[in-house]
């Protein structure tokens, strides 16, 4: 008789890929812990899921919020055996145009939180369990997303390091999805109007692909991996973003 699916914790679970991962995990029988800042959205999501689900309202950009989730992970009464580091924040702007508060939040949510939560989870994983990192293809670097891209490059490095350090039986998977239809691009302030429809993934596509890869023990998966043509267009977008941004600023400054 096989063991029941382990308890899973998903950060940034209130929308987008995080919510899709929560739904897919629930369909696979995992009890869940959902973490995000928006409690109302988490409660609505939890109400529709078929498995036991706890809601934790926490802001991972704060020490208080991070410690709340760390303490939950280390609870020996009901341990978390699958950690999904999905929460992310950032802004579409040159590094010199971002204020200190935005940069601090990017580092706390995208870098420090996955680092500390992964440490907490690994300390409780005695030969079984897993960690998933939701990274991004922009980790290679792109104009206007320098800070965000650097934080995702950190996740890539963290995933590679944990593959080497994790106990036998603990699976580490880094997920780098392509363009995905979520509200995150709007929150970043990134203009993606020129991306062809056929290149877009749904959050559900990403969730299924990511969890299937993790179940197979794959160390990295890239849902919607760009073709050669897509990569050429993406490179062109990276090169033209500085000009576009300057023109946009000029247009704004000259408008009534």
From the candidates 148, 155, 214, 224, give the one annotated as an active-site residue.
148
Is residue 179 annotated as part of the catalytic site, yes or no? no
- Phi then psi for residue 47, to 5 deg, are -65, -25
Q: Does residue 212 contact residue 177 with C-beta atoms inside 8 Å? A: no
Distances (CA, A) of 158 to 131, 172, 251: 11, 10, 41
Distances (CA, A) of 151 to 33, 105, 120, 148, 215: 24, 11, 20, 5, 26
Q: How far apart are CA 66 and CA 215, in angstroms?
A: 27
Q: Does residue 44 contact residue 23 with C-beta atoms inside 8 Å? A: no
> Which sequence positions are flagged as catalytic?
148
């Amino acid at each position: 008789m096989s063991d029941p699916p382990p308890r899973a914790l998903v950060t940034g679970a209130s929308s987008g890929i995080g919510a899709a991962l929560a739904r897919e995990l629930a369909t696979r029988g995992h009890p869940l812990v959902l973490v995000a800042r928006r409690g109302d959205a988490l409660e609505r999501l939890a109400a529709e899921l078929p498995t036991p689900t706890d809601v934790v309202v926490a802001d991972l950009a704060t020490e208080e919020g991070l410690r709340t989730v760390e303490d939950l992970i280390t609870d020996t009464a009901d341990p978390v055996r699958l950690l999904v580091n999905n929460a992310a924040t950032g802004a579409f702007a040159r590094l010199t145009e971002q204020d200190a508060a935005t940069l601090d939040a990017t580092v706390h949510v995208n870098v420090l939180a996955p680092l500390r939560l992964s440490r907490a989870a690994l300390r409780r994983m005695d030969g079984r369990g897993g960690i998933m990192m939701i990274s991004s293809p922009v980790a290679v670097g792109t104009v206007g997303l320098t800070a965000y891209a650097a934080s995702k490059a950190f996740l890539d490095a963290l995933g590679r390091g944990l593959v080497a350090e994790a106990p036998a039986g603990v699976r580490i998977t880094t997920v780098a999805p392509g363009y995905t239809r979520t509200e995150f691009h709007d929150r970043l302030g990134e203009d993606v109007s020129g991306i062809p429809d056929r290149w877009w993934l749904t959050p559900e596509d990403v969730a299924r692909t990511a969890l299937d890869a993790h179940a197979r023990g794959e160390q990295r998966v890239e849902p919607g991996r760009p073709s050669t043509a897509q990569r050429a267009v993406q490179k062109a977008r990276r090169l033209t973003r500085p000009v576009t941004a300057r023109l946009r600023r000029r247009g704004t400054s000259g408008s009534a």
